[in-house]
Structure 1
């Protein structure tokens, strides 16, 4: 095994050596469930071998209060070959929103906050303009209908990790109204969740991580779910994000750390724990035969608070509740939330009328992230008795492989085009080296290396490429998302429309 990837036969063996559901639990299932679980397991094995680009996958399927399958497949990290099982930690990204929203809803049932009153009524030190504080409620923030913008907050929270409670509270004053999607209009963004928890901490001192643990994770006994990467790593194996743009997947250069785990996307969970989460959703707060959340609380988060009308893959979305997308898969109502970040992908969904829930977590999201959704769709269609199931999903996998290859080819072309660009900096690289500061976005360090120049912001670091304008660079601080830096004279640069000044 090399230090970079599992090679040759070891890579194939990693796919073959998969951990499925416990044999004892399998033996106790009704025949119909045992047959369905066997078919689902066989499909996942076949799909991963066929698609190749996905190193590891964790899956759970819940039917009412019964678990049909909880399983792990493949590897968590191609460098080590650590196998995925039902206790492997996966980053669930934006599927975190349902946990954060439920925490606020639980507090509201005790009268500790009010979801529908203006945040200015309880957050006296909100930092927002008086007009915004009076016009905006927690429901607005949690259902993506607040119509607000504040890019520095979302950038620091999710990407650079360069923040403190005091910094974030100070940035609240930069919040602006979005003219294109005003108050009451749905626009998906992390900002509402970031604002809600920054306001909470400013007013009460309560960190969002502690709120989610106390309000949701502890009652549901989700003992292997955490908002701290460092804690998850102490518990066991945590899947690394990967990109499958080459012959074998490679670990993403950007991974989540404690500082970039935030209230709109900041939980690590396992297949076992996600089974408990789905059971709570399907049974309105009852799990293991015990009521752990007040009656009606869970169901209330599934009710849409704002309308939308769009398609996402195979799904029709018609609204958004408190941390949940509302819509349909085919004719069936589907409450769902997905998430992705730098090589990680999560699919969490359930059908309240059929009382079936599925969670799929994979550690690739560049060329084959759709495998998470295809796997969930297979589960729903298998349990619905779809007549052409195997033929249809063989075609789905074939189409996914074709899209994988098209994406890989496009990436190769794009890299070649960028590599052919001339270097447009007029001065030697050393002339640009230094630490540049901006009150909104923090610090950017320009570092000279044997390859050229690296750009570092907080936990992010990447090599710069030539861009098309004079005195400009292109950099992928977030992999595969190019951003432009323009140097303005000897001591300043522009990034994201903001001016950074070099330290003396």
Structure 2
């Protein structure tokens, strides 16, 4: 599934924007920043919530986020650039570039094994509490100590074994091979080449006021507290980068097929080829890139987990689609939100292929759309292509179960599909005042109202009683 019409993507993005705004509030996430790119056009660059809750600073598309393990894609890109130039080889042993590894178990681990998390290297050393800010991230001397102190956990190529230490060593290899420190190399040869003004390899104190504040989780407390930004030191190649959602999708657009700004297509396909099935998931990993199949669409990208920020970006290199979602909470649902856009696009493409409800082409489908609420919850009537759907915006995947709505007349729909416990075959009847929806009687024959009306009622009513309903 590759071909995408701009109209289908715009339909999906239109709902995605509304859904993200709802999910930010519903999930009690301090802030969500998102961007969608198709072809060479940014179709969405938006932000919801707050960059700083305590100070009341609203989040904008220009606020900076720590995108953490997205850094690995920059590192892999840099390695493949050096390989294309003949400066290093993917089968070079690590000791060729890092003499301090001579005699250590990791000395023979290859560059390619480090890129694909195939080297059996310890994930974060034997004391990873820098992730909780108990102390600073490892400097170069500490990284060398970690790499030579029982860092060989399993034999190379036994299985996929994710390693931040392995990618930190790749940063040192890039520095040794290029003659430039890692941060300088990736800035000059990747960030500046793409004119990514809001992207960098490490925390920039000069821009401290531009970062979205990170926050702790609600899993262990009833409130979130701020988390300070810190420098990741010798681990920037694994987790140091900052960016915005808009810059992130622009960066990944350089990994679309046919784009030669950073790498040849041959190198990009090498990065995107599966090296491993990731145990315990449906995903795979290439060289610095996640691989996933979402609704039949093959996508690539990476996630990032940094103290206070959780982020995710996906891209389809053939259809030239990219989506990035950045959250400033350590339990932020960036992955399901980003994959939600892919699922919406897939459904919009399916709904644009002539299989819509063409029996009533005289009726404007958009008149039925909106967000409606009952005491039981919220439902969205959404147009994608030539079809109307009933979505549950509280769900991680609102497109499932797929509930289609056929047009009966200019004020009536019929439920088609959905789960067996739903209202299959029943009607959804609208009351209009001019072009505005007053109410909708649908599932379980209950009356729903535009969500603003129910929200206002909750703000003023003390209780719900028979004869005094929430409305």
TM class, shorter-length: 0.5 to 0.7
The one-character-per-residue Cα deviations of 1:367-414 (angstroms, maximum 9, x if unpaired) are: xx22x2232233122222367976444351599xxxxxxxxxxxxxxx
The one-character-per-residue Cα deviations of 1:450-488 (angstroms, maximum 9, x if unpaired) are: xxxxxxxxxxxxxxxxxxxxxxxxxxxxxxxxxxxxxxx
Corresponding residue to 2:274 among 304, 313, 322: 304
> 2:211 maps to what in 1?
238
> 1:376 maps to what in 2?
338
Task: Verify: 1:214 aligned to 2:188, yes or no.
Answer: yes
How many residues were matched structurally? 354
Task: Verify: 1:341 aligned to 2:333, yes or no.
Answer: no
The one-character-per-residue Cα deviations of 1:186-230 (angstroms, maximum 9, x if unpaired) are: 111212101222344467663221222122112122121012322
In 1: Cα distance, 2:144 partner to 2:111 partner = 17
Kindly name which structure, 1 or 2, has the bigger radius of gyration based on alpha carbons. 2
Task: Verify: 1:43 aligned to 2:43, yes or no.
Answer: no
Corresponding residue to 2:87 among 102, 112, 115: 112
> 1:144 maps to what in 2?
117
Corresponding residue to 1:321 among 264, 278, 286: 286
Cα–Cα, structure 1 residues 279 and 217, in superposed 2: closer, same or farther, change >3 Å? same
The one-character-per-residue Cα deviations of 1:127-180 (angstroms, maximum 9, x if unpaired) are: 24266323x11110111100123754883875532544344334432143224x
In 2: Cα distance, 1:145 partner to 1:327 partner = 19
The one-character-per-residue Cα deviations of 1:391-449 (angstroms, maximum 9, x if unpaired) are: 444351599xxxxxxxxxxxxxxxxxxxxxxxxxxxxxxxxxxxxxxxxxxxxxxxxxx
In 2: Cα distance, 1:165 partner to 1:241 partner = 26
Flag structure 2 segments of 5+ consecutive residues without an equivalent: 352-380, 383-388, 399-471
Task: Verify: 1:191 aligned to 2:165, yes or no.
Answer: yes
In 1: Cα distance, 2:62 partner to 2:115 partner = 30
In 2: Cα distance, 1:76 partner to 1:139 partner = 38
In 1: Cα distance, 2:150 partner to 2:179 partner = 21
In 2: Cα distance, 1:378 partner to 1:95 partner = 19
In 2: Cα distance, 1:307 partner to 1:397 partner = 24
In 2: Cα distance, 1:131 partner to 1:38 partner = 53
In 2: Cα distance, 1:172 partner to 1:124 partner = 11
In 2: Cα distance, 1:186 partner to 1:397 partner = 27
In 2: Cα distance, 1:294 partner to 1:154 partner = 39
In 1: Cα distance, 2:211 partner to 2:124 partner = 29
Cα–Cα, structure 1 residues 89 and 260, in superposed 2: closer, same or farther, change >3 Å? farther
Corresponding residue to 1:362 among 309, 314, 327: 327
> 2:200 maps to what in 1?
226
In 1: Cα distance, 2:125 partner to 2:268 partner = 32
Task: Verify: 1:83 aligned to 2:48, yes or no.
Answer: no
In 2: Cα distance, 1:103 partner to 1:147 partner = 22
In 2: Cα distance, 1:36 partner to 1:162 partner = 40
Cα–Cα, structure 1 residues 171 and 309, in superposed 2: closer, same or farther, change >3 Å? closer
- Secondary structure in 1 matching 2:128: helix
In 2: Cα distance, 1:173 partner to 1:199 partner = 16
- Secondary structure in 2 matching 1:296: helix
TM-score between both structures, scaled by the size of structure 1: 0.63
The one-character-per-residue Cα deviations of 1:93-139 (angstroms, maximum 9, x if unpaired) are: 1121111111111111111111122223x3261324266323x1111
Which segment drifts farther, 86-95 or 124-133?
124-133
> 1:177 maps to what in 2?
152
Matches within 5 A, 1:232-311: 233=207, 237-245=210-218, 250-257=224-231, 259=233, 262-286=236-260, 291-311=261-281
Cα–Cα, structure 1 residues 147 and 297, in superposed 2: closer, same or farther, change >3 Å? same
TM-score between both structures, scaled by the size of structure 2: 0.67
The one-character-per-residue Cα deviations of 1:283-336 (angstroms, maximum 9, x if unpaired) are: 4435xxxx454443333311222343542xxxx21x311211123113221213
- Secondary structure in 2 matching 1:229: coil
**How far off its partner does 1:182 sit?**
4.3
- Secondary structure in 2 matching 1:358: strand
- Secondary structure in 2 matching 1:92: strand
In 2: Cα distance, 1:93 partner to 1:55 partner = 18
> 2:357 maps to what in 1?
none
Task: Verify: 1:331 aligned to 2:296, yes or no.
Answer: yes
